[in-house]
Structure 1
């Protein structure tokens, strides 16, 4: 009997020791793992609040994630008609939902509304920043995402999605066994500790100026402002603009708001094509800047009679041709130069390729085949009509070639990236090359200077060309710093012309 009791005691002690050992292992060795699992099961991830990397301008000012906003989490079981009316009065924007909660964003402070949401509907408030502003600068260049942390759909958001999404962080809150958030337990932000983002060449002040000036015209169009020495884009504006939070509304319509008129839409080049014709003629030494032309008021080419709006007038030298609306001079020069030489020069100016480096969604322009503009077609070619169409960004690139004395490289809008522990990585500049001689470029620059003196404010040292819907040029004419290209789809006579808008922005840049 005693032996049995002794055996039971020994067995009990052994079991107790094993239990103690197991508890010690759980407590000291496996404890952190179980605590992590328990805590993970009691935490919920909040979706709908943007945590992507930031996009910056050239002075490291944020273009995204600027507007402070309050995000409210409201339980589905507490939502009713009164709550929805209150949110509507507060101009709350619905972000997303799951089985337990709805998330709303409110950017305009309303203290009484905030109190009522928290008191009557148990709302939980999180202060953060909206991905986009209601009047988002450079919206067409930045692009947008489908949801707060979804992949980019277009623009920089798409082209640099891998960088911007690498900076995403996870926002979690503690919940109870039923999945409801426990008030007062705090919010945890997990993820990238170092900053991720994209550095652009845009200047926020110039971008805002360009967008306001273009918007004030009340019509569709585009403005591009470049830094001539570097080829960097300082501003790119397109109207109509769009609110990144109303994409579904635009898609259900004609979607014109989503078109980037600066890079994706093509227009007849009209008088801007005179730059190409002049370059082809001068480069091939068909004429010189001093060559004189007599106009009898009309000209017949291949059976087509072309009338000059000036009628019969005195001889003019080619160096003055851009400053005078004499169509016959340009038709004669085009006929002497030849279709193939002109079209080859247009390609040299980048009229058949994307104008901007590292930016998707660009149109390449359109040039006719030589056989399409033979004979009488040379008249249409000389005036930049017919089968010739370009984007405003291509016109801006052409303008920079003249201002840079024949040097060309793709325009750029991206300076570099921020990649966590690596920090800032600046991208190499696009490769450049001499595409026309400096002598030819200087001669055309002088022609544009004379044209600008006739067109607008001669107190500004500007070189430019255009009429009606187009105007492109650079300033100061003697030491170019800025290039400005304007396209207005419905421009006519009067104040709302592309030239008037060009000079308005030129004066603003001079200040």
Structure 2
């Protein structure tokens, strides 16, 4: 008997140990697999019609999908006229479906009364998710916007990377019961690939904090125009702002506007460069050997080139005898008209092309303007003096001027500009487009501008190099003068290039330079 009891006891221990082991295996070893299986059995996946890859700044701060939207999941049998009237009160639009039974509405606006009616009277399941654009969306012109009818990209990065952004693997899902109905109170989640940044996302070169600050500076200074900030050593666009801005959530209000809110002036705005073009003329003269830094011309307040009279706007009674450095710092038109004639328009245009003018700057970026040069007959004769001071039919974009300036900051090296982070643009060694000696001499003249020239007395926390410009545009009663400033800092070891265009700004020193100063002092 004792032997039998002992055997039964041992067998019981073995069976109990087996059960415990099996229980441990199920609950611990297979926990995640079984949980996923259970959830997969009851998960209701909603096919999203407007899901897109997220656009990030360089530090993985969300530039899109960072704010809240409200979703209402309703059974189609409950979608009456009264229900649709309630949805319309909050601007709701169809955002997705679940099979043949459910429809999802998305709204930016939350109304407590409407919300309660939809829940209590129509059995709506409500959840909060991310919205594509913020109410105060930054970098709107760079990001672009979507077509309301089919959610395809119309401009900016949304258009440039339409296929990639539209391939987002994210789906919206909600826990359901055994017959596939939503369970109230469980909630809805957005499921992706599990990666921090999924393959459909974009990581831009923009710094969100800098971008926001630049937009604030433009607004605070009441400047209509554009700003481009580049990282000198890489050519990466750190900020690209255009003013006035637009709200991508309310595009209809801009379709008939004459204020140009939807135009990205940084890449689409075409302006005469005015005196900032003297950077090109000086580089062409030095590089071609047409002149040395010590060669002089006389400024008597007026000069005649090829039968065309040109007035020195900076000093109408004349600067007297100037060398190149003095003329550049004082932005003397008479000197540069004579310099242009000696250098020749072919050398000037060739240098302009080498420094990025006359062509787009960001490969593949949609709707970027290339600008234009005066035709050969114009620049050889009556238009030569205008070309020498950046006037006439010569047209550029702000981002082209930023690229030109960045070449001087890099001692003659051209880095291709980029708006998307990649290993290629981080390691780009650049291409030499003018000699280091020429770039150094032009850079030193740009430093003189800040000390003794048209930007003397500027209030920056660090040394800077730059060039002011005033550009006449239009004609007759519609003539206006735009203000330019382009430069880089710190002067001795450049980190940032900043270009500013202030429409109707009269002079660069009075309208564009203050914007440059605020950006410099924000970064230093």
TM-score, normalised to structure 1, is: 0.80
Superposed counterparts of 1:197-208, under 5 Å: 197-208=201-212
State the partner residue of 1:447: 445
Matched, 1:411 2:441: no
State the partner residue of 1:466: 468
Q: Secondary structure at the match of 2:255?
A: helix
Deviation at 1:180, TM superposition (A): 11
Q: How many residues align?
A: 459
Cα shift readout 1:160-193 (whole Å, capped 9, x = no counterpart): 23332232323356999xx996553865756644
Q: Provide the C-alpha distance between the structure 2 equivalents of 1:186 and 1:361, rounded to a whole number of angstroms.
A: 42
State the partner residue of 2:105: 103
Q: Secondary structure at the match of 1:350?
A: coil
Q: Provide the C-alpha distance between the structure 2 equivalents of 1:407 and 1:293, rounded to a whole number of angstroms.
A: 30
State the partner residue of 1:64: 64
State the partner residue of 1:24: none
On the 8 A contact 1:45/1:171 being kept in 2, the answer is yes
Q: Secondary structure at the match of 1:389?
A: coil
State the partner residue of 1:264: 268
Change (3 A) 1:252 1:85: farther
Match of 2:379 among 350, 353, 373: 373
Superposed counterparts of 1:153-232, under 5 Å: 153-171=154-172, 182=182, 184=184, 187=188, 192-194=193-195, 195-196=198-199, 197-232=201-236
Change (3 A) 1:220 1:75: farther
Superposed counterparts of 1:90-129, under 5 Å: 92=91, 94=93, 96=95, 101=103, 103-106=105-108, 114-129=115-130
Match of 1:487 among 501, 510, 517: 501
Deviation at 1:149, TM superposition (A): 7.8
364-373 or 490-499, which deviates more:
490-499
Cα shift readout 1:371-421 (whole Å, capped 9, x = no counterpart): 2212231111111111211110000000100111000022111113xxxxx
Q: Provide the C-alpha distance between the structure 1 equivalents of 2:180 and 2:149, rounded to a whole number of angstroms.
A: 22
Q: Secondary structure at the match of 1:300?
A: strand
On the 8 A contact 2:469/2:507 being kept in 1, the answer is no
Change (3 A) 1:186 1:137: closer
Change (3 A) 1:180 1:119: farther
Gapped runs of 5+ residues in structure 1?
Answer: 1-38, 417-424
Cα shift readout 1:464-508 (whole Å, capped 9, x = no counterpart): 112342110011111111111001122136996111211121111
State the partner residue of 1:130: 131
Q: Provide the C-alpha distance between the structure 2 equivalents of 1:133 and 1:249, rounded to a whole number of angstroms.
A: 17
Matched, 1:498 2:504: no
Change (3 A) 1:68 1:509: same
Change (3 A) 1:445 1:246: same
Q: Provide the C-alpha distance between the structure 2 equivalents of 1:168 and 1:240, rounded to a whole number of angstroms.
A: 35
Q: Provide the C-alpha distance between the structure 1 equivalents of 2:412 and 2:142, rounded to a whole number of angstroms.
A: 27
State the partner residue of 1:432: 430
On the 8 A contact 2:468/2:508 being kept in 1, the answer is no
Q: Provide the C-alpha distance between the structure 2 equivalents of 1:398 and 1:187, rounded to a whole number of angstroms.
A: 51
Deviation at 1:152, TM superposition (A): 2.4
Matched, 1:299 2:300: no
On the 8 A contact 1:456/1:499 being kept in 2, the answer is no
On the 8 A contact 1:357/1:413 being kept in 2, the answer is no
Q: Provide the C-alpha distance between the structure 2 equivalents of 1:221 and 1:95, rounded to a whole number of angstroms.
A: 37
Q: CA RMSD in A?
A: 3.3
Matched, 1:290 2:282: no
Gapped runs of 5+ residues in structure 2?
Answer: 1-40, 471-482
Superposed counterparts of 1:235-274, under 5 Å: 235-253=239-257, 256-274=260-278
Change (3 A) 1:404 1:104: same
On the 8 A contact 1:452/1:462 being kept in 2, the answer is yes
Change (3 A) 1:458 1:106: closer
Cα shift readout 1:19-46 (whole Å, capped 9, x = no counterpart): xxxxxxxxxxxxxxxxxxxx99x96735
Matched, 1:55 2:55: yes
Change (3 A) 1:168 1:351: same
Match of 1:326 among 321, 332, 349: 332
Superposed counterparts of 1:386-405, under 5 Å: 386-405=392-411
